[in-house]
Amino acid sequence: MTGSDWAWIIASSFWGVLVIALSAVLMMLLRVLANVAEMVKGITDQTVPLIGGLNETVSGINVELARVDAIVAGVQSITTTADSLVGVVHATLSNPLIKGAAYVAGITRAAKAMKD
């Protein structure tokens, strides 16, 4: 056997070991990918019902928000009515009360002036 024969044997042995090592790495990579695929399937199986429940919850919240909106509109109407009523009462009572207070103050001053 010559030196070139030994070189070919070493090169082919190295190549064979490299192919076996790469095959082992690829097999491990395939196992990892299979585990990842199984994990994604499990997450999907758990997430889809959760999203369905979330949709139901959001629909219920939207119904309740519509009710709250109707209540707020009613309260706003009541508040507007009460504000108008207070304005009418103020306008009706404040002017006579001011005149009455001024009248009483005038009588008080007149009574003081007569005593002195």
Location of structure tokens 């009574």: 111
Is a pLDDT exceeding 90 seen at residue 34?
yes
What is the Cβ-side half-sphere exposure of residue 58, based on CA atoms within 13 angstroms?
A: 6
Q: Identity (one letter) of the amino acid at 82?
A: A
Q: What is the pLDDT of residue 114?
A: 86
72: three-class secondary structure by DSSP: helix
Is a pLDDT exceeding 90 seen at residue 92?
no
Q: What is the pLDDT of residues 44-78, one digit of tens each?
A: 998 888 888 888 999 999 999 999 999 999 999 99
- Token digits for 109? 């001053």
Arithmetic mean of pLDDT, 9-35: 95
Q: In the chain, helix, strand, coil percent, each to 5?
A: 95, 0, 5
* pTM given for the model: 0.46
